[in-house]
Structure formats: C-alpha cells, structure tokens
Amino acid sequence: MKRVTGIGGIFFKCRNPKAINQWYKTHLGFDTTPYGTSFEWRDITDSTKRGLTQWNPFPEDTKYFEPSEKDFMINYRVEDLEQLVEVLRKENVTILDHIETFDYGKFVHILDPEGNKIQLWEPKD
C-alpha cells in the first residue's frame, strides 16, 4: 500500500494573511486569493493526471493547527485514506479526528511524535 504520494499543501501562521498574500503576489507572482493559491502540476508517471498543491497563510491566532503549537501544518496527499488510517491506528499513531469527506476529497488529521499536526488528504483530482 502506498502511503503518502506527495505534498498537498503548505499552511502557516502569519500576522497579516492579506498582506502576505499581496507580498507573494507582487514579488513572487503568486496568483493569490483570500485562501492563498493553488499550484497545478502533472503526475510524473501519467501526464494526463493533474494535481494541486495548496499554499495558504493563516492568521497567527488560528485554532486550526491545534493541538499543535507549531506555526505550520503540512498536508500530504494519499491514495487510500481509510485504509491508511486503519494502519496508522494499529501503529499507535495519534489520529486527531474522523475522516471528513468533501467534493474535493477526504481529510483527517494526525500528530507526529514532536506534536506537528499533519493533514492527510485523499484528493478527487
């Protein structure tokens, strides 16, 4: 079973997300919205398959990264989230919530041994 297949997103805390979005738009050419930006790419083994990696600044007082005290969270793409969560449970990995399903995929959050919150995402590309 494949576990992580790529990076789905990079999320970080900042004092002023609106200003940070504008700075990255002005100086690095990011096509930002209030939700950051998405980078589209193609699968290396099948160029007809496309994927997205999300980049998003959050307000520094966000509670979304809790229980982690870190200023960042990484989203990893996975192929079969339900199967992976079963395996991670057996390996005593801390699963923070239940799998949620949206139009664009399934999500769950886990913690690594240093308290970094990780978002796992099974996308619907």
Q: Is the pTM of this model over 0.85?
A: yes
Domain ranges for the chain = 4-123
Fold held by 4-123: 2,3-Dihydroxybiphenyl 1,2-Dioxygenase; domain 1 (3.10.180)
Confidence at residue 99, expressed as pLDDT on a 0 to 100 scale: 98
Which residues of the chain fall short of a pLDDT of 70? 125
Average pLDDT, the chain: 95
Cis peptide before 34 (omega within 30 of 0): no
d(C-alpha 44, C-alpha 47), whole Å: 6
Chain centre to alpha carbon of residue 23: 22
pLDDT digits (tens, 9 = 90+) for 61-93: 999 999 999 999 999 999 999 999 999 999 999
**What ranges make up the beta strands (E) of 1-125?**
4-14, 37-42, 50-59, 72-78, 94-95, 100-102, 105-111, 117-123
